[in-house]
Structure 1
Amino acid sequence: MAARRDLPFKGRHFTSEVILWALRWYLAFPISYRDLAAMLSDRGIAVDHTTLFRWVQAYAAKLEQRVRRHLRPCTGSWRVDETYIKIKGVWTYLYRAVDSLGQTIDFLLSARRDTAAAKRFFRKALAQLHTVNPRTVTVDKNPAYPRAVADMKRAGELWRFSRLRQCKYLNNIVEQDHRRVKRLVRSGLGFGSFQTARRSLAGYEAMAMIRKGQVRDIGGQDMRAQANFIAELFLSAA
């Protein structure tokens, strides 16, 4: 197969099986790079924690991009919220949305929390293959959301019959989902730059979508099927 000439693991000192095992575990569970290195050492594989960091930076965002094509459609009930992520001592904002079933719609890391950032997030979410123009958009009391929705309706970017609901308790489902991201970030001991944060967060969200059962024909609890699926995404044998 011609595509195999450009395998993403070419030149690595470890097999694709080892790299993808480490990638899956780091992105799915609250674990540090040093703890993951110790787990691999217990299996007879000596890997430095800095090497694991480089693997995540090289492949996490690619995983997220490739998973997108295989996601089940989300519902038209969006629950949108933002949470705080610290990057090199500075607070930034992670916009996230799930549907009424808790399925991940999309996410966006932003340096600002304003109308322009809200619009960027909505545009990114609407561009995904697994999303639909929402019937309802549930948000908190952030005044940027009504302005963003009104502007996008006027521009024809958002369905004009979409209903905006500013109701905090209806957003419990997305606020609970934030906790998973926070646990993963804490274990990683923070981020040194915006780009490293963006790549790592993309991997966290991709693995969450897989484990939520959002991928067609892959069970959320079937770790063997998930491993095989991820291996196929990278054109390698599990």
Structure 2
Amino acid sequence: MTCEYENQPQELVEFSGSAALTNLDQFFSSKVYRRKAAKAFLKKAIKGSGSPKAINVDQSKSNIGAIQQMNKFERPKSNPIKLTKDKYRNNLVEQDHRKIKRKLKISLNFQSLKSAKAIIAGVEIVHMIFKGQSGCLPLINSTPESQFWGLVTI
């Protein structure tokens, strides 16, 4: 395979596929790429669900850098995103998703993305109902079974 580089337009450099993979690995593992990817993900998440007051991050330096860069260049000084590094909070979220992951591991062979979305949403709703986080005001004082059937009939 031959490749022409921008800084060497007259020369054609020949390299094997493994060298190409090494170069790609170096590119995708670079700090700049990871920070840009984290920033793009953060922008998409904020656009979809609103601006958070605080974000809890583990040891991911790319996420920390992306949040700091957003605070520095794109956020008003009066309303920056607070960055917290609390391992306990991340563990709570992971433990909460463990039951959902266990139920979904059985049925990983979804036929379409539409059916996967519907099934995952249903499993999460049932999990939230049993935790008492249904968010449906008229169903708060009822049993989990009646909350579930109330949602089914809506």
Task: Name the residue aligned to 2:57.
Answer: 139
Q: CA deviation at 1:137?
A: 1.7
**C-alpha RMSD of matched pairs (Å):** 3.2
Shift of 1:123: 3.0
Equivalent residue, structure 2, for 1:117: 41
Q: CA–CA distance in 2 between the matches of 1:220 and 1:181?
A: 24
Counterpart position of 2:83: 164
Unmatched tracts of structure 2, length 5 or more = 1-36
- SS for the counterpart of 2:139 is coil
Task: For 1:1-238, list aligned pairs within 5 A.
Answer: 114-126=38-50, 133-153=51-71, 154-156=73-75, 160-214=79-133, 215=135, 216-219=137-140, 222-233=143-154
Report the structure number with the largest CA radius of gyration: 2
Q: 1:150 to 1:180 in 2, by over 3 A?
A: same
Q: How far does the alpha carbon of each residue in 1:78-122 deviate from its partner, in whole angstroms, 9 at most, with x for none?
A: xxxxxxxxxxxxxxxxxxxxxxxxxxxxxxxxxxx7432233233
Q: Say whether the 8 Å CA contact 1:219–1:225 is kept in structure 2.
A: no
Query: More helix by proportion, 1 or 2?
Result: 2
Seq. identity, %:
29
* TM-score after normalising by structure 2: 0.54
Aligned residues: 114
Q: 2:120, 2:90 → 1: CA distance?
A: 21
What's the CA shift for 1:173?
A: 0.7
Instruction: Provide the C-alpha distance between the structure 2 equivalents of 1:137 and 1:169, rounded to a whole number of angstroms.
Output: 13
Q: CA deviation at 1:193?
A: 4.8
The answer to whether the Cα contact below 8 Å between 1:210 and 1:226 also exists between their aligned partners in 2 is: yes
Query: What letter is aligned with 2:67?
Result: V
SS of 1:141 mapped into structure 2: coil
